[in-house]
Amino acid sequence: MNRLLLCMLVLCTLSLVGTARADSDGANDPSDADPTSGPDGDIPDDLDEVSRQLDNPLTSLWSLTFENKAFIKEGDATGDREVANQTFFQPGLPVPLGKNDEMVLIARPVFPLVTNPSLDAASSDGTDGHTTGFGDIQMLSLVGPNRLDGIVWGLGTTMRFPTNSDDDLGTDKWQLGPSAMLFKMGRPWVFGALVQSWWSIAGEGSAKSTAQTDIQYVIRYALPDAWSVGVGPTVSIDWKQGNDDKLTLPIGLGLTKTIRIGKMPIKLRGEVQYSVVRPDSYGTEWTFLFRIAPVIRSPFAD
């Protein structure tokens, strides 16, 4: 847990240093700025463009995402529906690469605080209260072309670290695998997919080995005044489970609004998802998501 807190402190410090550096450099006069400026990491004046760029997992914009997901879970392992929750902090701090910044590298760590039911087969309802604590830290890294429009792709790695504070909150396994994304950044449509796969490579001997693939599909349609409507659920495949428990396939609908407080753009998003396919034994039926993502100026911006 101390290592988790240290990592969060370091990343928050880096974010604040970047913001301070941008402020000390003196932002350009907005009247001289291109409202859709980029892809050098500078923040566009146009909030519609900020919202659109943040839909790209390989965006050059720096952001500090806070997200809460409330889950309703059910299955044969429990006598009734159970409630779970996940709150996470995910900084996105991309770094331009190449002589003319034609490529971008982004690392997106996820620091989760999790509340899960404690499954207990000996209990009459299959559970023994709830457990709250830190979950497994996840790190997504991608590199690809630094583009604002058209086809955007990225390749990289994804990792999970056994930082869970309780057995009910993580896998107790070190996990590693590839990641890839392909998006079409258009106006008013943005759509694409981000794929991540993990296999356990080390960890506690008593913990079960893991093999999982997540596919987040994104479809967004821009509306006037920095609103957008769309979906962004994650399809999950647990390759270690039998056919009845392997697949979770959610659909949903969400609404996004980007606002500005002072000079800082903030993207707000709410979404409801329903899993039309889910594990028979125990899985997520409903997901209620709320996200807030302040955008900070990159120290790499011109």
Q: What is the mean pLDDT of each run of 10 residues along the chain (302 residues)?
A: 46 45 41 46 88 93 97 86 95 92 94 88 68 96 95 98 93 97 96 98 92 98 97 97 96 98 96 97 95 92 67
Cα 205 to Cα 118, 173, 201, 209: the distances in Å are 21, 9, 11, 9
Q: Are 158 and 138 in contact (CB under 8 A)?
A: yes
Domains of the chain: 2-296 (2.40.160.40)
Cα 265 to Cα 37, 57, 59, 294: the distances in Å are 14, 17, 15, 6
The whole-number pLDDT of residue 41 equals 57
The whole-number pLDDT of residue 137 equals 98
The whole-number pLDDT of residue 185 equals 96
Local structure of residue 2 (DSSP, 8 states)? H
> By 3-state DSSP, what share of the chain in percent is helix, strand and coil, each rounded to 5?
15, 55, 30
Global confidence as pTM:
0.85
The whole-number pLDDT of residue 105 equals 96
Q: Which residues contact 17 (CB under 8 A, 6 or more apart)?
A: 299
**Helices of type H across the chain:** 2-25, 47-54
The whole-number pLDDT of residue 125 equals 64
